[in-house]
A and B are shown apart, each in its own frame.
Chain A
Amino acid sequence: MTDLQTAAEAGTVGIERDRPAQRPRRRDKVFGFGFVVPLLAFITLAFNLPLLLTAAWSLVDPVSGSLTIAHYVEFATSSIYWTVIARTARVAFIVSVLCAVIGYPLAYWMTLLSRRGQVIALAIIVTSFWVSILVRTYAWIVVLGNAGLVNRALQYLGVIDRPIEFLYGELGVIIGMVNVLLPFMLLPLYAAMRQVDPRLRAVAYTLGASQGEFFRRVFFPLSLPALSASFVLVFILSLGFYITPAILGGGRVPLIANMLDILINRFPRWNLASAMSVVLLVLTLVLYGVYQRLRSRRGAASGQG
């Protein structure tokens, strides 16, 4: 959200505000905090506590109950776990790039639609949120399967004589994940692009900029923070994907979540799974830290320029 705000602020630079900023009084602030306390308590109990327990499990020997780092050692020294983590990172990166490549022009196109057109486009995107991931994932089997719509259409048209294998491999997983995650890219981007003041375009044209120049030098830089924020959001969400690789990967593209499932539900090795979850959490936090760093540096750079 902060990125959207940044984008919004950036987009409204130099435009006079006709409403005075409302500053809440101190007493209101304290009073407002009271409303948040139950929520904070709930989050601590329902989210942070189990997380800490998971972290604790990763350091416990299941037989003797004593403290041990054996699970981390096993994790670090066995190549198969790193294979899965590398695959997860690769798939997450490809999915994020594809979401950006598809989502950015789509969001831009949406901002150019009429008011009514935008409402309709938004409604279509939001409706896909209401359909469960499971249903959407299975729907791909109907669409992309060997006897699915796409393959039958292509065969009918004589483009191919053998069905294309979209599913049950990395390609199927990527298609399914892009489908599920695209709204997470599209909606923030659209919101950010709408915040870009339309008068900037007029100003740029007045100053002699071409359409391409306006996009390159004004519009794209203003939407870049939202783009990178959405990119990191999609990347982080991809890291935890379970259903799509389980169904569309045909058991051949296990990601980290599927590996955790195997360790927890197949071999009862909760402690090793806990250790791996902690590693995943740390990886995600590091990623987030790097992203924050990049962002603040860019902010400083643009401030100087």
Chain B
Amino acid sequence: MPRIALAIALASSTALSLVGTASAEPAKTLRILTAGGEWTDAVQKCVDKPFEEKYGIKVEVDTPAGYAKLAGLAQSGNVNVALVDLETTELERAHATGLLDPIDWEKVKPFEMFPDAKKPYGFASTYFSTIMAWRPDAKAPKNWQEFFDTVNFPGKRALPDYPGYVLAFAALADGVEPAKLFPLDLDRAFKTLNRVKKDVIWWTAGGQAPQLLQDNEAQYAIGWSGRLVSKPEIKHSFNQGMLDTSWWGAPKGADPAMQEAAWLYLHEYSDPQKQACVAQHISYTGPSPELDPLLPKDKLSQFPNYKANRDVQFVTDGKWWYDNAATVEKRWQEFKLSQ
């Protein structure tokens, strides 16, 4: 009998310690799915490297991110990442389709964050803008009507191959009033795009927009602000730009130990010092309200969330995009494949 009792005690203590390890001890490697490009390079320098040194947890980065990739991982039953970078609509969709675990804010214990940056299942990582830019030798457009006016503003347009980053501007170009932008009039948006499509180069990677302008392949471009504003040889305007948020989500089905590491990582990410460091490499700011004093004064006007910039932009309607995702995708696909 004592031996049996001992065995039970041993077994239960082992089981307990196993459970304990699983929930408290973070993994030695944290795999994250991120957007890539200059922003990821900056995050690796400013967040990942100090994180590795502080906790001894290695951060492995995989790209590209996005809803489709996340859904693919879940479908194949092989969720090998503990954090994924998502756009607002992708976050909503991933949440609605049950692909995300809630963020454990108790464990993250973040530094102060903007209230709208903390969702039960989303951690706002970056504020970014989609704006217009042009070559200095091209005629400067003041608004989207002029931007899409290929007759009076001749030249090629480098446009994002993403409906969420071009359709709203195309609708404004057809004369939709900014105050009545959403619900988005898709017919009017596609009317503009059909009119200009012969003069368009569609880009898929953020770095292409400035490159196409610099190479004189395109004279006008829509691109992500961080890629455009710091380049003196490119003109840009935040006017009627679109302010947006990127999020960290925690995929459901990830290794619990790796998820523990993810909470530590998010804690580090919420540190204003780290976000200020990122902002020095690329003009995007994070969720910390204490960031402004840490930012270089002469570069404030480059940040999407800077007040003067914020005032002339509109915030994209994540809910509308989410509700209409299927319709938008279908029409976009038809437009793109049949051109």
Query: Chain A residues in contact with chain B, CB under 8 A?
Result: 62, 79-81, 83-84, 141, 145-147, 163, 167-168, 246, 250-252, 254, 259, 262, 264-268, 270
Assess whether A252 is in contact with B72, with CB atoms less than 8 Å apart: no
Q: In the complex, what distance in Å separates the CA atom of A262 from the CA atom of B202?
A: 14
Q: In the complex, what distance in Å separates the CA atom of A259 from the CA atom of B336?
A: 10
> How far apart are A266's CB and chain B's nearest CB, in angstroms?
6
Q: Within 8 Å of chain A (Cβ to Cβ): is B60?
A: no
Chain A residues with CB below 8 A from B202, complex form: 250-252
* CB-nearest residue of chain A to B161: A251
Chain A residues with CB below 8 A from B329, complex form: 266-267
> How far apart are A242's CB and chain B's nearest CB, in angstroms?
12
Among B72, B215, B336, which residue has its beta carbon within 8 angstroms of that of A141? B215
A264-B68, A268-B68, A268-B71 given as contacts; is B336 within 8 A of A251 (CB)? yes
Assess whether B72 is in contact with A270, with CB atoms less than 8 Å apart: yes
> How far apart are B255's CB and chain A's nearest CB, in angstroms?
22
Among B71, B156, B337, which residue has its beta carbon within 8 angstroms of that of A259? B337
Assess whether A252 is in contact with B339, with CB atoms less than 8 Å apart: yes
Please name 15 pairs of A and B residues whose Cβ atoms are closer than 8 Å in the assembled complex, sorted by A: A80-B333, A80-B334, A83-B337, A83-B338, A84-B337, A145-B217, A146-B215, A146-B217, A168-B156, A251-B161, A252-B202, A252-B339, A262-B337, A265-B69, A270-B72
Assess whether B200 is in contact with A250, with CB atoms less than 8 Å apart: yes
Chain B residues with CB below 8 A from A270, complex form: 72, 75
Number of interface residues of B (CB under 8 A): 26
Chain A residues with CB below 8 A from B200, complex form: 250-252
In the complex, given contacts A80-B338, A251-B161, A252-B200, what are 6 additional A-B residue pairs having Cβ atoms less than 8 angstroms apart? A145-B215, A147-B216, A147-B217, A266-B329, A267-B333, A268-B71
Chain B residues with CB below 8 A from A267, complex form: 68, 329, 333
Q: Within 8 Å of chain A (Cβ to Cβ): is B17?
A: no
Q: In the complex, what distance in Å separates the CA atom of A82 from the CA atom of B179?
A: 40
> How far apart are A26's CB and chain B's nearest CB, in angstroms?
47
Assess whether B217 is in contact with A265, with CB atoms less than 8 Å apart: no
Q: In the complex, what distance in Å separates the CA atom of A250 from the CA atom of B71?
A: 28
Chain B residues with CB below 8 A from A83, complex form: 337-338
Q: In the complex, what distance in Å separates the CA atom of A262 from the CA atom of B204?
A: 11
> How far apart are A5's CB and chain B's nearest CB, in angstroms?
42
Q: Within 8 Å of chain A (Cβ to Cβ): is B203?
A: yes
> How far apart are A80's CB and chain B's nearest CB, in angstroms?
5
Q: B306-337: which residues lie under 8 A (CB-CB) from chain A? A: 329, 333-334, 336-337
